[in-house]
Amino acid sequence: MARLRGKSWQADVRLAGGARLRPTFPTKVQAEAWEAQARLAIEQGKPIPETRTASRPGSATRDLSNLGNLFDHVCRTEWDDMRAARTLKINGKCAVDHFGRAKDVRTVLAPDIADYAVSLAEKGNAPGTVNRKIAALSKLLTTAVNAGALDKVPVIKWRREEKTKFRFIDQKEEAVILAYWRNSDYERAYGLTMFLIDSGARCFAEAIPVKWDHFGKDFANVTFWQTKTFKPRTVPLTKRVRAWLTDWKRAHPDSVGPWASMNKNTFTHRWRSMQGDLGFPDVTPHTMRHTCCTRLVLGNAPVKLVMEWMGHSSIATTMRYMQIRPDSLDGLLGALEGRL
């Protein structure tokens, strides 16, 4: 039975699987007419008649129960303004491609999401990647709930993510990479690689955008104002990085920053060439960040300080690196040997 919701009338039918459809209409007559058509379609096993959620007077008509429209809405109102916009949109579009733009989100049930997760895994996606793509779908469905186009988000079963070994470089590999940049006459890549290793900065989001006024006196430290967590942080800089920055600024006094004008596409292309030439296919710019965190942990730095240095939003992220500290539990042996 249709009922008045604000200035709109809400229809209400239940599908064979138990899910409820509650589209809204401008008038009671339209709502009840759709209900009658929908119930007949369910009895006969035919497709549910299309609906269009009523919008505010004067606004563009949109149906957020439609997965394609919902995706466009979330991209425009939320993801576009986020630093991870490109990845979020790719993950969201993956769900749209799987279910189809015309898919009614009210018919996306828990078994459908489970099947979607299986299909992602079968395509070679790692558990963590599957979870990120399912999370994008969850965000779409949550938005639909908040907009009144969906009753609730179905139960989602997340994939178990195993702790995996992450790539970092040792001193010899570092020396080879730095020598490669020098021999290739790509001095800015030399300085950037060294900076990434010694600061732990995220390459494209934090290091490349940094400007000269983000550095402290005599380049003693640097403040990253644009971060993934939206929380600025300041870290000290090593002597070799300070020396390189001093020389580079002296040679380029009119530059905005050491890498601010760097062409990212050119840098990416030349990085890939370095990977191939040196046989380091798994060494990415982000590997330098892993390397910094690894060296801090191996240097027995307190976990809380490592977390602060790296700008991790959760201590759990920092703790992932503790597995590389081989003697981290040795101090407890005394308790078992009766020496504590």
pLDDT at 163: 60
Q: Give the chain's end-to-end CA distance (angstroms, integer).
A: 73
Give the CATH number, domain containing residue 278: 1.10.443.10
d(CA 74, CA 71): 5
Give per-residue pLDDT as tens, 104-126.
999 999 999 999 999 999 998 88
Give per-residue pLDDT as tens, 138-195.
999 999 988 888 889 999 998 887 665 688 999 999 999 999 999 999 999 999 999 9
Residues 138 and 251 in one domain: no
User: Do the domain assignments include residue 334?
Assistant: no
Domains of the chain: total? 3
Residues 39 and 115 in one domain: no
Residue matched to tokens 């279910």: 99
φ/ψ of residue 208, rounded to 5: -60, -40
- Looking at 46-50, 53-57, 89-93, 135-139, which range is the least confident one? 53-57
Residues 46 and 138 in one domain: no
Per-position DSSP letters for 137-195, written without gaps between them: HHHHHHHHHHTTS-S-PPP--PPP----PPP---HHHHHHHHHHHHHTT-HHHHHHHHH
CB atoms within 10 A of CB 54: 21
Which of 127, 129, 166 has the alpha carbon at shortest distance from 322?
166
Identify the domain boundary among 162, 179, 210. Answer: 162
- Looking at 7-11, 175-179, 258-262, 335-339, which range is the least confident one? 335-339
Q: Which residue has the higher pLDDT, 119 or 323?
A: 119
- Looking at 7-16, 68-77, 112-121, 293-302, which range is the least confident one? 7-16
Residues 98 and 108 in one domain: yes
Query: For residue 56, what pLDDT band results from cuts at 50, 70 and 90?
Result: very low
Residues 112 and 25 in one domain: no
User: Do the domain assignments include residue 200?
Assistant: yes
Residues 103 and 149 in one domain: yes
Residues 208 and 298 in one domain: yes
User: Do the domain assignments include residue 310?
Assistant: yes
Domain span including residue 246: 171-324
Mean pLDDT taken over the chain: 86
Is it the case that residue 314 has pLDDT exceeding 70?
yes
- Looking at 46-50, 149-153, 203-207, 335-339, which range is the least confident one? 335-339
pTM to 2 decimal places: 0.62
Query: For residue 8, what pLDDT band results from cuts at 50, 70 and 90?
Result: confident
Residues 156 and 36 in one domain: no
Give per-residue pLDDT as tens, 193-228.
999 999 999 999 999 999 999 999 999 999 999 888
Residues 47 and 91 in one domain: no
User: Do the domain assignments include residue 332?
Assistant: no
pLDDT at 53: 47
Is it the case that residue 129 has pLDDT exceeding 80?
yes
d(CA 21, CA 13): 5
d(CA 109, CA 156): 9
